[in-house]
């Protein structure tokens, strides 16, 4: 009997010590596989004591966003570690744990991060997120096709347009490719990626959505960049990009039916998989400027790892976060062309050997443009959906009829201003003292 | 029979309490699962609640409904919903009647046939929507491929891209999905029709078309109307097909897509609840029509 009690006690002791952490992950590209490998490594290193459960997120990033909103507003403790897009950190900052509490000051090499990334990690003085990998919009091109048709690597958007149009017309002479081949694929489905693409092209045309602290979307540069997008859509692309997300456009490019593709770096290793039609034929360039001598662009993306404030195992979660985001893991992940967030890794010979295009990306990352998430704060998701809705509407309408870009942009300008204004307004009206719910009802009925 | 009868008689006069006791589990589940969320939604629609702040809320009266009425996107969503409902429901009914008439004949393997026809209805909508989204894709979709090979079209049709085309595709997929359901409802009605009329018609050798319009259709009228109201109730709530098959632009949203977008994406629980409440009243209105119709039928 005593033995049994002792056994039960030991059993209880061990079983109570085993913690199951829950972490979210998207299934885009190799992400899930890589994460699982890293986690297995962590579990092994921590002595097989704890378990980690991976929650797979939806494909479209604004759906992940909605999911996080539901979890965090319900103060759910059934998720501990969340992967987040860089633009959301500000939105969720209040519900995230301060990671710096769990690390000693020199445990993480903060100064080695790119500046834009370092800024995104903090909310005020609290460090709420660590970067899993950086992301930057780039253009993939078919080096073999460019060589075949003796075309130069484009340096400006106009050159890209000309090259794409030329190759598209030549390729379409082949009856098999007649209806399939197109010059340039990007993503214009009404979702977050379209906001990214828009911010990026506006930046490369020398414009900006926010100027001197004010929304300024009806500027001339923005009109020009939209006109260019419409030209692309009509002449060197397929209409269905209006319903394309990243993976759809990768599908077209990977099966050899496009010359140029705008996408994130994650596609590199997938495109170069020996089983694809384009393996070894793809090269990468930064988002070109609109005119010669302009500055190359690229929108800052990247997924960060955060710990929920409502998690029951924050310290352990912070430990896993540190392991996931450490330099060693970022080096491993860079084999699959996920961009490291540390500057020093871009000088690492092995990393550069695996990904020769990192040299260009380092430059893009240095002058990467960010989405206006800081400006809109908590209302960013609403602002972003107004932006992608407006751009999608303009592009869609441009196919069916003539579209009045100026009017649409004015409307967008007004909407974005209201969003910004309503945020200030609600902050002002929100009572500083917490009033009870029932007091409020009493107040409402006047007793 | 002798044994059961007294029990039934006793039950008729049985005390009220035991009736309620038997009903209680069902009522509790209903109140918890349907009543409470419903009440909360209606309650939130009069407040300025946001998703990250459901506790500190202020009553704003009917502000949400007023700004909803002024919102063009909302009216576009209402219009889209009704376009989809008004086109798809009659189409489904017509096709449903045809399928039901075919299935009503007894032929070899008609039992299997009745089961097979139901397959589209048994696939979860979200799965069939995804499936159709792939089949309708203009770069690698099979539909365009088939149409091109049959030389019906030259250039692939971008089914899910423009606003008009995506509504057309949504209606097509909806018809594909719910015709079996209509057929099943109508088949049940068809089989309960009095056989003597048909025998009389056969004796008089009435031509089939005349038999259909003068005999089957009038007799089936109550069933058809009930089935159509059921379908309309469902069609007004359409969400998953639109969510998957359209490009996500608010120009082709329906009422429930609009409500979800404001509730979740835009953080505006108050406003989204107002939209959901209005949708509820649309559905409730159709429900009232149905109930009044069926009670009139009972009286007749």
Q: What is the mean pLDDT of residues A202-222?
A: 88
Strand partners, A85: A303
In this prediction, residue B5 has a pLDDT band, given cuts at 50, 70 and 90, of very low
Distances (CA, A) of B179 to A66, B92, B122, B225, B239: 33, 5, 12, 15, 18
Q: Which of A102-116, A133-147, A424-438, B129-143 has the lowest mean pLDDT?
A: A424-438
CB A239 to CB B59 under 8 A? no
Q: What is the mean pLDDT of residues B39-60?
A: 85
Helix (H, G, I), strand (E, B) or coil at B59: strand
Range of the domain at A89: 18-134+300-366
A325 and A201 in one domain? Answer: no
pLDDT tens track for A361-384:
887 787 788 888 878 877 888 889
Q: Cβ(A88)–Cβ(A65) under 8 Å? A: yes
In this prediction, residue A432 has a pLDDT band, given cuts at 50, 70 and 90, of very low
Residue A434 has pLDDT above 60, yes or no: no
Q: Say yes or no: A399 contacts chain B, CB-CB below 8 A.
A: yes
Q: Say yes or no: A176 contacts chain B, CB-CB below 8 A.
A: no
In this prediction, residue A206 has a pLDDT band, given cuts at 50, 70 and 90, of confident
With respect to residue A429, please indicate whether it lies within any of the assigned structural domains: no
pLDDT of res. A361: 82
Label each residue of chain A as H, E or C.
Answer: CHHHHHHHHHHHHHHHHCCEEEEEECCCCCHHHHHHHHHHHHHHHCCCCCEEEEEECCCCHHHHHHHHHHHHHCCCCCCCEEEEEHHHHHHHHHHECCHHHHCCCCCCCHHHECHHHHHHHEECCEECEEEEEEEECEEEEEHHHHHHCCCCCCCCHHHHHHHHHHHHHHHCCCHHHCCCCEEEECCCCCCHHHHHHHHHHHHHCCCCCEECCEECCCCHHHHHHHHHHHHHHHHHCCHHHHHCCHHHHHHHHHCCCEEEEEECCCHHHHHCCCCCCCCCCEEEEEECCCCCCCCCECEEEEEEEEEECCCCCHHHHHHHHHHHHCHHHHHHHHCCCCECCEHHHHHCHHHHHHCCCHHHHHHHHHCCECCCHHHHHHHHHHHHHHHHHHHHHHHHHHHHCCCCHHHHHHHHHHHHHHHHHHHHHHHHHCCCCCCCHHHHHHHHHCC
Strand-strand pairing, A20-25 and A214-215: unpaired
Residue of B273, B247, B220 whose CA lies nearest to B63: B273
pLDDT of res. A60: 75
With respect to residue A13, please indicate whether it lies within any of the assigned structural domains: no
A204 and A306 in one domain? Answer: no
Query: Other CB atoms closer than 10 Å to residue A13's CB: what's the count?
Result: 9
More confident call, A361 vs B23: B23
What residues of chain A lie within 8 A of the CB of B247, using their CB?
A: 188-190, 242-243, 392, 396
Closest residue in A to B260 (Cα–Cα): A66
Distance from C-alpha of B217 to C-alpha of B124, rounded to nearest angstrom: 32
pLDDT of res. B192: 87
Residues 6+ apart with CB under 8 A from B196: none
CB B249 to CB A385 under 8 A? no
Residue B78 has pLDDT above 90, yes or no: yes
What residues of chain B lie within 8 A of the CB of A423, using their CB?
A: none
Residue of A280, A198, A194, A197 whose CA lies nearest to A243: A194
Query: What's the domain count of chain A?
Result: 2
Q: Say yes or no: A440 contacts chain B, CB-CB below 8 A.
A: yes
CB A255 to CB B57 under 8 A? no
pLDDT of res. A27: 82
Q: Cβ(A114)–Cβ(A134) under 8 Å? A: yes
A361 and A282 in one domain? Answer: no
CB A389 to CB B57 under 8 A? no
The rounded mean pLDDT for chain B is: 86
pLDDT of res. A239: 84
Distance from C-alpha of B115 to C-alpha of B184, rounded to nearest angstrom: 10
Residue B86 has pLDDT above 90, yes or no: yes
Closest residue in B to A382 (Cα–Cα): B266
What residues of chain A lie within 8 A of the CB of B257, using their CB?
A: none
Distances (CA, A) of A409 to A100, A117, A212, A232, A415: 42, 30, 18, 19, 10
Q: Say yes or no: A72 contacts chain B, CB-CB below 8 A.
A: yes
Taking the CA atoms of residue A391, residue A394, residue A395 and residue A397 in that order, the dihedral angle to the nearest 10 degrees is 150
Residue A247 has pLDDT above 50, yes or no: yes
A129 and A56 in one domain? Answer: yes
With respect to residue A240, please indicate whether it lies within any of the assigned structural domains: yes
C-alpha Rg value of chain A to the nearest Å: 24
Helix (H, G, I), strand (E, B) or coil at B47: strand
Distance from C-alpha of A140 to C-alpha of A120, rounded to nearest angstrom: 27
CB B264 to CB A434 under 8 A? no
Strand-strand pairing, A282-286 and A20-25: unpaired
Residues 6+ apart with CB under 8 A from A370: A86, A87, A116, A120, A199, A299, A300
Residue B100 has pLDDT above 80, yes or no: yes
CB B265 to CB A381 under 8 A? yes
A183 and A120 in one domain? Answer: no
Residue B70 has pLDDT above 50, yes or no: yes
Distance from C-alpha of A405 to C-alpha of A412, rounded to nearest angstrom: 10
Chain A interface test: which of B244, B248, B268 (most A C-beta within 10 Å): B248
Q: Cβ(A301)–Cβ(A262) under 8 Å? A: no
A148 and A124 in one domain? Answer: no
With respect to residue A442, please indicate whether it lies within any of the assigned structural domains: no
pLDDT of res. A439: 64
Listed residues A340, A366, A392: the one ending a domain: A366
With respect to residue A276, please indicate whether it lies within any of the assigned structural domains: yes
What residues of chain A lie within 8 A of the CB of B155, using their CB?
A: 179
pLDDT of res. A430: 44
ipTM of the complex: 0.70
A249 and A116 in one domain? Answer: no
Q: What is the mean pLDDT of residues B225-244?
A: 89
CB A440 to CB B59 under 8 A? yes
Q: What is the mean pLDDT of residues B253-268?
A: 87
Domains of chain B by start residue, with CATH: 71-266 (1.10.3720.10)
Q: Cβ(A34)–Cβ(A66) under 8 Å? A: no
Distance from C-alpha of A131 to C-alpha of A337, rounded to nearest angstrom: 15
Q: What is the mean pLDDT of residues A69-84?
A: 87
A263 and A351 in one domain? Answer: no
Helix (H, G, I), strand (E, B) or coil at B167: helix
* pLDDT > 70 fraction of chain A, expressed in percent and rounded: 90
Distance from C-alpha of A105 to C-alpha of A110, rounded to nearest angstrom: 9
CATH number at residue A405: 3.40.190.10
Residue of A338, A384, A328 whose CA lies nearest to A361: A338
What residues of chain B lie within 8 A of the CB of A243, using their CB?
A: 158, 160-161, 246-247
Phi, psi at residue A282, to the nearest 5°?
-105, 140
A198 and A173 in one domain? Answer: yes
With respect to residue A12, please indicate whether it lies within any of the assigned structural domains: no
Q: What is the mean pLDDT of residues B101-119?
A: 86
Distance from C-alpha of A162 to C-alpha of B227, rounded to nearest angstrom: 57
Distance from C-alpha of A41 to C-alpha of A34, rounded to nearest angstrom: 11
Q: What is the mean pLDDT of residues A48-53?
A: 87
Distance from C-alpha of A276 to C-alpha of A29, rounded to nearest angstrom: 14
In this prediction, residue A16 has a pLDDT band, given cuts at 50, 70 and 90, of low
A75 and A41 in one domain? Answer: yes
Q: Cβ(A86)–Cβ(A301) under 8 Å? A: yes
Distances (CA, A) of A402 to A153, A217, A396, A410: 33, 20, 10, 17
What residues of chain A lie within 8 A of the CB of B139, using their CB?
A: 180, 238, 240, 248, 251-252, 257
In this prediction, residue A15 has a pLDDT band, given cuts at 50, 70 and 90, of low
Q: What is the mean pLDDT of residues A276-290?
A: 88
With respect to residue A3, please indicate whether it lies within any of the assigned structural domains: no
Q: Say yes or no: A65 contacts chain B, CB-CB below 8 A.
A: yes
Helix (H, G, I), strand (E, B) or coil at B267: coil
With respect to residue A189, please indicate whether it lies within any of the assigned structural domains: yes
Helix (H, G, I), strand (E, B) or coil at B10: helix
A306 and A284 in one domain? Answer: no
A150 and A81 in one domain? Answer: no
């Amino acid at each position: 009997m005593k033995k049994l009690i002792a056994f039960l006690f030991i059993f209880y002791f061990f079983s109570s010590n085993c913690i199951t952490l829950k972490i979210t992950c998207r299934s885009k590209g190799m992400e899930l596989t890589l994460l699982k490998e890293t986690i297995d490594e962590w579990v092994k290193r921590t002595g097989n004591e704890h378990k980690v459960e991976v929650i797979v997120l939806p494909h479209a990033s604004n759906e992940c966003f909605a999911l996080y909103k539901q979890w965090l507003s319900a103060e759910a403790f059934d998720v501990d570690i969340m992967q987040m897009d860089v633009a959301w950190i500000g939105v969720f900052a209040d519900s995230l744990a301060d990671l710096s509490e769990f690390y000693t000051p020199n445990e993480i090499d903060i100064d080695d991060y790119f500046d834009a990334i370092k800024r995104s990690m903090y909310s005020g003085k609290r460090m709420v997120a660590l970067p899993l990998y950086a992301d930057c919009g780039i253009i993939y091109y078919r080096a073999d096709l460019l060589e075949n048709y003796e075309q130069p690597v484009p340096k400006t958007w106009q050159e890209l347009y000309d090259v794409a149009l030329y190759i598209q017309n030549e390729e379409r002479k082949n009856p098999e490719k007649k209806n399939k081949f197109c010059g340039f694929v990007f993503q214009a489905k009404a979702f977050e990626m379209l906001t990214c693409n828009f911010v990026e092209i506006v930046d490369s045309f020398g414009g900006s959505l926010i100027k001197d602290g004010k929304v300024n979307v009806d500027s001339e540069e923005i009109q020009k960049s939209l006109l260019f997008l419409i030209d692309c859509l009509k002449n060197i692309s397929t209409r269905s990009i209006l319903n394309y997300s990243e993976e759809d456009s990768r599908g077209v490019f990977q099966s050899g039916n496009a010359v140029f593709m705008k996408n994130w770096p994650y596609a590199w290793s997938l495109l170069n998989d020996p089983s694809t039609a384009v393996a070894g034929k793809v090269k990468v360039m930064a988002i070109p400027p609109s005119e010669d001598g302009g500055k190359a662009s690229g929108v800052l993306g990247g997924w960060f790892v955060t710990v929920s404030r409502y998690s029951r195992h924050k310290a352990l979660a912070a430990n896993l976060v540190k392991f996931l985001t450490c330099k060693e893991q970022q080096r491993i992940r860079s084999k699959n062309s996920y961009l490291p967030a540390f500057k020093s890794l871009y000088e690492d010979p092995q990393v550069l050997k695996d990904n020769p295009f990192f040299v260009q990306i380092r430059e893009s990352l240095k002058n990467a443009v960010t989405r206006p998430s800081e400006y809109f704060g908590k209302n960013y998701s609403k602002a972003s959906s107004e932006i992608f809705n407006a751009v999608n509407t303009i592009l869609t309408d441009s196919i069916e009829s003539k579209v009045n870009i100026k009017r649409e942009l004015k409307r967008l300008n007004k909407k974005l201003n209201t969003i910004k204004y309503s945020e200030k307004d609600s902050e002002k009206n929100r009572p500083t003292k917490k009033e009870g719910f029932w007091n409020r009802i009493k107040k409402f009925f006047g007793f | 029979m002798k044994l059961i009868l007294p029990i039934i008689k006793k039950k008729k006069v049985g005390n009220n309490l035991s009736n309620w006791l038997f009903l209680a589990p069902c009522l509790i589940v209903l109140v918890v699962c349907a009543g409470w969320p419903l009440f909360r939604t209606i309650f939130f629609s009069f407040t300025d609640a946001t998703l990250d702040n459901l506790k500190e809320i202020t009553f704003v009266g009917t502000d949400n409904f007023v700004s909803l009425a002024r919102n063009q996107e909302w009216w576009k969503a209402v219009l889209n919903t009704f376009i989809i409902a008004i086109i798809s429901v009659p189409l489904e009914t017509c096709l449903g009647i045809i399928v039901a008439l075919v299935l009503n004949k007894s032929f070899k393997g008609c039992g299997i046939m009745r089961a097979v026809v139901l397959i589209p209805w048994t696939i979860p909508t979200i799965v069939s929507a995804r499936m159709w989204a792939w089949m309708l894709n203009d770069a690698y979709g099979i539909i365009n491929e088939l149409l091109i090979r049959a030389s019906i079209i030259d250039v692939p049709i971008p089914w899910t891209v423009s606003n008009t085309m995506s509504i057309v595709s949504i209606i097509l997929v909806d018809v594909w999905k719910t015709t079996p359901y209509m057929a099943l409802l109508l088949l049940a009605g068809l089989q309960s029709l009095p056989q003597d009329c048909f025998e009389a018609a056969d004796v008089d050798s009435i031509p089939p078309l005349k038999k259909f319009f003068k005999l089957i259709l009038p007799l089936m009228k109550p069933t058809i109307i009930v089935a159509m109201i059921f379908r309309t109730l469902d069609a007004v709530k359409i969400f998953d097909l639109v969510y998957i098959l359209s490009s996500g632009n608010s120009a082709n949203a329906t009422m429930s897509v609009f409500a979800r977008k404001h509730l979740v994406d835009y953080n505006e629980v108050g406003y989204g609840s107002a939209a959901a409440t209005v949708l509820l009243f649309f559905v409730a209105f159709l429900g009232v029509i149905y109930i009044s119709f069926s009670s009139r039928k009972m009286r007749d």
